[in-house]
Structure 1
Amino acid sequence: MTTATATTATSAPRAAKAPGASNDRSAGRSRASTIIVTGVLVLVALYFLVPIYWVVVAATKTSEDLFSTFGFWFAPNFALWDNLGQVLTYDDGIFVRWFLNSVFYAGVGAVLATYFAAAGGYALGKYRFRGNNLIFGLILGGVLVPGTATALPLFLLFSQMGLANTYWSVLIPSLVSPFGLFLCRIYAQATVDDALLEAARLDGAGELRIFQSVVLRILTPALVTVFLFQLVGIWNNYFLPLVMLADSSLYPITLGLNNWLGQVDRLPEFYQLTTGGVLLSIIPLAIAMIVLQRFWRGGLTEGSVK
């Protein structure tokens, strides 16, 4: 009897230590996972930030310093302001024209594409009609089609319509965002409550007013996402303007800078123009991300419907 009691007393502390050991192992695995995830995020951040840093450094150098000094550090001769001045004044300020063209293409295209995607996504997500799933399937298929595959057919179509080599030839294709419509449909299904819509209808609001006053506010996080995707996509679009445009005064920044880069064999000074132009071209996108990131969050209307 005494031996059994002693054995029980001896084994009890061991049993009491088992949960603590399990917690230590879980904490160790959690720390290891945190370190791995942090390391991956640091590598991804470097992948995106290092090219931007190189552009900033390269824009401060002359063409000679660009190839004779270390690429990731500044040269003794700081030529940033001279380079930017040449960019803005070269060929009667053609870069300013390209910049304004990109602002027009990306700004108008992103706003209208976001609005159309919100309207289509809301309609497909909250209304029930024949062919709903078929239309959504076709749109989903449009997400899988790369823009380069449709550029040539669009050029042939716009040529027959007399719209090639005009602003419309770049702007009209930018108004369609299959991914944006897909995202807005999913978000509308998850966040737009049917009871809220019924309450608005009982108050006498029409369907268009409900969409404008209620739904667009609820879809704000999705709209900001779609807008940023469209803005970046249109701003960086190169192949469609290359196919559609022949007049250099209609070029966006991407096509104009590539035109400058193609002349570096003739005039090395175009290296300075190109690097300075690239630096100026990324500023609007950075501003858009900084300004709109505060809207890029979910749950704006959680608790609005009880």
Structure 2
Amino acid sequence: MTTTLSHRSEDLTDVPAPATKKRRRGSILLTVLTALVSLYALVPLAYLVINSTKTQQGLFTSFGLWFDDGGHFALWDNLRETFTYQDGIFLRWLGNTALYTVLGAGGATFFAVLAGYGLAKFDFPGKRGVFAIVIGAVAVPPTALAVPTFLMFSKMGLTNTPWAVIIPSLVAPFGLYLMWTFSAQAIPTEMLEAARMDGASEMRTFFRISVPLLAPGIVTTLLFTMVATMNNYFLPLIMLKNPDWYPLTVGLNAWNAQAATAGGQAVFNLVITASLITIILLLAAFLLLQRYWQSGLAAGSVKE
């Protein structure tokens, strides 16, 4: 009798419960959606990698997602031509992008850290009003402010200069809001009060105590501002007329427009190769800062 009951109980445990079935279905659905999103993100990258190895003729005679049937491997020729075309203008655009990213994204992160820390750890009249302004600024798309910014910089005589791109990039409402919320959670108020009681100045408290605790949030904000600066297109498009000051986004679009004209298809391989170089640089920045970013995402998930 006991043996029969034990067999029945084992048979019942082999049958999955309805909750288990729903969980498995949800897991399968999530896996399929993740695979589709990954495919959507990786196919354009694979297209760039594959087509950057083709000659100009191979781009139009072979399948887009496979290598040249003729066996020609033209990656090194494409790279050399990309860096030497039009007297090396691509290197100039690359340097401009680095300049705008270092000064614009770096400055935006610096100001976001200072402002976010101050708003999170200091009380002053009008703090709620500042919060409302920051939230409103986050909701406004940057392209909506491009034309008013152009008119303002035009009156100041700063258009067609690097400052027309760098100065607007210093304002990052989302980065400010991110550092505001991160500072409120990552820095214990008791620690700041203990440092002040020991005689530490506000600057010393900030740089010696707060900044190390804010490192994950700073890196996360830096990544967001770097991506926003490197992808900035409309602002430099209306601000700059001299191709020597173009960033990569505007410069590659100019090459792409040239490739779309009659007889301009000769630079189509340069557009693909230059786009691949641009993406590799952005991926390298993510990989170098990945461990700091992951630690920032995990901050506060474990309590001691």
User: TM-score by structure 1 length?
Assistant: 0.89
**In structure 2, what is the equivalent of residue 5 of structure 1?**
none
> Is 1:56 paired with 2:60?
no
Please, which of 119, 123, 130 is the counterpart of residue 128 of structure 1?
123
The Cα shift of 1:108 comes to 2.1
1:16, distance to aligned residue in structure 2 (A): 7.4
Bigger mean CA deviation after superposition, 203-212 or 112-121? 203-212
Identify the range of structure 1 (100-109 vs 21-30) with the bigger mean alpha-carbon deviation: 21-30
How far is 1:68 from its partner? 1.4
Partners of 2:35 and 2:119 lie apart in 1 by: 39
> Cα–Cα, structure 1 residues 21 and 281, in superposed 2: closer, same or farther, change >3 Å?
same
Q: Hey, what does 1:231 align to over in structure 2?
A: 226
Matches within 5 A, 1:134-145: 134-145=129-140
- Is 1:268 aligned to residue 265 of structure 2? yes
The 5 A counterparts of 1:65-80 are 65-75=58-68, 76-80=71-75
Between 38-47 and 171-180, the greater mean CA deviation after superposition: 38-47
Determine the structure 1 residue equivalent to 2:277: 280
Matches of 1:302 and 1:200 in 2, distance apart? 26
1:166 alignment partner, one of 161, 165, 168: 161
> Which of 211-220 and 282-291 deviates more?
211-220
Following TM superposition, by how much is the alpha carbon of 1:267 offset from its aligned partner in structure 2, in angstroms? 2.2
Distance 1:143 1:162 in 2: 28
Structure 2: unaligned runs, 5 residues or longer? none
In structure 2, C-alpha distance between the alignment counterparts of 1:161 and 1:181, rounded to whole Å: 27
The whole-number CA distance in structure 2 between the counterparts of 1:203 and 1:91 is 62
Check if 1:88 corresponds to 2:94: no
C-alpha distance in structure 2 between counterparts of 1:19 and 1:179, whole Å: 54
Letter in 2 for 1:226: T
Instruction: Kindly indicate whether the alpha-carbon contact (under 8 Å) linking 1:218 and 1:301 is maintained by their aligned counterparts in 2.
Output: no
Alignment of 1:220-259 (within 5 A): 220-259=215-254
1:294 deviation in Å? 0.3
Distance 1:303 1:195, change over 3 A: farther
CA distance in 1, matches of 2:151, 2:216: 37
The runs of at least 4 aligned residues of structure 1 exceeding 6 Å deviation read: 15-19, 301-304
CA distance in 1 between partners of 2:129 and 2:15 (Å): 52
1:183 CA drift (Å): 0.9
- Residues 1:41 and 2:34 aligned together: yes
CA distance in 2, matches of 1:166, 1:143: 26
Deviation readout 1:43-85 (Å, 9 max, x if unpaired): 1111111111111111111222112111001112111111111
2:103 to 105, 108, 111: 108
Report which of the two structures shows the higher radius of gyration computed on alpha carbons: 1
Distance 1:34 1:200 in 2: 49
Do the aligned partners of residues 67 and 172 (structure 1) sit closer, same or farther apart at CA in structure 2, a change above 3 Å counting?
same
**Residues 133-156 of structure 1, C-alpha deviation per residue, up to 9 Å, x if partnerless?**
101110110111111111111111
CA distance in 1, matches of 2:117, 2:11: 54
Cα-to-partner distance string for 1:81-105 (whole Å, 9 max, x where unaligned): 1111100001111100000100110
Taking the aligned partners of 1:132 and 1:18, their CA distance within structure 2 comes to 64
Report deviation, 1:256: 0.7
The RMSD of aligned alpha carbons is 2.5
Residue identity over aligned pairs, in percent, reads 43
TM-score by length of 2: 0.90
CA distance 1:205–1:281, shift in 2 (3 Å): same
